[in-house]
Amino acid sequence: MNKFLKPELTILISSAETKNEIRLMFRFFGKLNLIKIIPAKLFKPPVWLLSYFFGTRKTKLLKNILDDTDLPFAKWAVKELVNWENVSRIENVIKIHGSKDRLIPVRGERKMEIIKDGGHFMIVDKADEISNIINSKMGLIG
For the chain, what's the residue count? Answer: 142
Task: Name, in order, each residue with C-beta under 8 angstroms of 59's C-beta and a sequence gap of 6 or more.
Answer: 47, 48, 51
**CATH code for 9-129?**
3.40.50.1820
pTM of the model: 0.86
107/124: higher pLDDT:
124
Residue 54 identity: F
pLDDT tens profile 84-111: 999 999 888 999 999 999 999 998 777 8
pLDDT tens profile 43-78: 888 889 989 999 998 989 998 998 899 999 989 999
Please state at what angle helix 59-67 crosses helix 47-54, rounded to 10 degrees: 110
At residue 113, the 3 state secondary structure works out as strand
| pLDDT reading at 42 higher than 90 | no
Sequence ranges of the domains in the chain: 9-129
**pLDDT bucket at 142, cuts 50 / 70 / 90:** very low
| pLDDT reading at 141 higher than 80 | no
79/1: higher pLDDT:
79
DSSP single-letter state for residue 55: T
Q: What does the alpha-carbon distance between residue 131 and residue 65 come to, in Å, rounded to a whole number? A: 21
β-strands 93-98, 113-115: how paired?
parallel
**pLDDT bucket at 138, cuts 50 / 70 / 90:** confident
